[in-house]
Structure 1
Amino acid sequence: MGDPKSSRKKWEGPGHPWIKSRLETEMKIIGKYGLRNKKELWTAETIIRTVRHQARNLLALPEPQRSEVGKSLLDRLYKLGLIGKDSSLDDILGLTSENVLERRLQTIVLKKGMAKTIYQARQFITHGHIAINGKRVTNPGYLVTREDEDKITYALGSPIKDMMESKSSEENQGEEGES
């Protein structure tokens, strides 16, 4: 299994990192998804690269072997929310790194309206204000599964939770007063 202290590198950088067009697209993606550095982007690209490689290898197998092994790959990607229920191996080849970045906790917190900006979402997560199924998650790069997506809430005891609840109750009272 290996020593827990010596972790492996989860990303592989580009072969030629100083291409101007690549630098420009990387900076746009970093700004759009609020990434801390390019390693987070390269991690997503590495995940997609390995999944696409697995799909290409499966497409080279004969049909009986492909169906049983391909089903497990499709199920795993469906649980992660990267593909739809009725997807095929060909759909895996169309995945991009942005598909993985959309499944990060930081992005989902923003989309659920729990934070005003992508950077605020990152701050809430790293400061321990966000929980999944009642358990605090402090990693903004956590890939949220389909089943966990509805279980994202503010952490118990978080002052952010109290602040949001008081704002929503004030808004409800304001709406009742107008009626």
Structure 2
Amino acid sequence: MGDPKKSRRKWQGPGHPWRKDVLEEEMRLLGEYGLRNKRELWIAESLLRDIRARARRLLALPEEERLPLEKPLVSRLYKLGILPSEQSTLDEILSLTVRQILERRLQTIVYRKGLASSMYHARQLITHGHIAIGGRRVNSPGYLVQRHEEDLVGYYPLSPLVKASQVAEKGE
């Protein structure tokens, strides 16, 4: 049945929850990226923490053991759009920030593509089913969009928003 000690949670809260500088930065990120609550931020931070821990473990290995294990990690992060190139190094992985993870969320990409007027509007469009990736409806604002999916993000073909915009175009 699995390890009884292993948690099913995708996130881990801050180690010291009442530090003023941490609270201020969390609130700034919540507003900037239109997150619903701090748990969404903590999920991104936990993902980043796991990625960086994996990179540190690889750096501890001898070079001949490290190179074949380093390539899949760099490749995966490149496909997710977190790293700029497939020739990135472990040092670049260690210098990643939570902002780079948050920039890959569907909510952020919908806003950056101009499909929504604000981050909060993007979140509402996604949860109400108006956004699709490659014609398939995605209703999770926290979905991490891969690099090859980025161009496929658009309105869901059967959405009333699409129908309304077509009517408006015909009327002009």
TM range (shorter): over 0.9
Q: Once the 2 structures are TM-superposed, how far is the Cα of residue 8 of structure 1 from its aligned partner?
A: 1.5
Q: Does residue 94 in structure 1 map to residue 70 in structure 2?
A: no
User: What does residue 113 of structure 2 align with?
Assistant: 112
User: What does residue 11 of structure 1 align with?
Assistant: 11
User: What does residue 31 of structure 1 align with?
Assistant: 31
Q: Once the 2 structures are TM-superposed, how far is the Cα of residue 95 of structure 1 from its aligned partner?
A: 0.4
Q: Distance in 1 between matches of 2:129 and 2:169?
A: 21
Q: Once the 2 structures are TM-superposed, how far is the Cα of residue 153 of structure 1 from its aligned partner?
A: 1.4
- Fraction of identical pairs, as percent: 56
Q: Once the 2 structures are TM-superposed, how far is the Cα of residue 169 of structure 1 from its aligned partner?
A: 5.9
Q: CA RMSD in A?
A: 1.5
Q: Does residue 76 in structure 1 map to residue 76 in structure 2?
A: yes
Q: Distance in 2 between matches of 1:17 and 1:25?
A: 12
Q: Once the 2 structures are TM-superposed, how far is the Cα of residue 165 of structure 1 from its aligned partner?
A: 3.7
Paired residue type of 2:140: N
Q: TM-score, normalised by structure 2?
A: 0.92
1:93-132 Cα deviation digits (max 9, x unpaired): 0001111100000000000000001000000000000011
1:40-98 Cα deviation digits (max 9, x unpaired): 00000000000000001101111111110000000000000000112111100000111
Q: Distance in 2 between matches of 1:169 and 1:142?
A: 34
Specify every segment of 5 or more residues in structure 1 that has no aligned partner in the other structure, as ranges: 174-179
If you compute each CA radius of gyration, which structure gives the higher value, 1 or 2?
Answer: 1
Paired residue type of 2:118: T
Q: Distance in 2 between matches of 1:22 and 1:166?
A: 48
Secondary structure of the corresponding residue to residue 29 of structure 2? helix
Q: Aligned pairs, how many?
A: 167
Specify every segment of 5 or more residues in structure 2 that has no aligned partner in the other structure, as ranges: none
Q: TM-score, normalised by structure 1?
A: 0.89
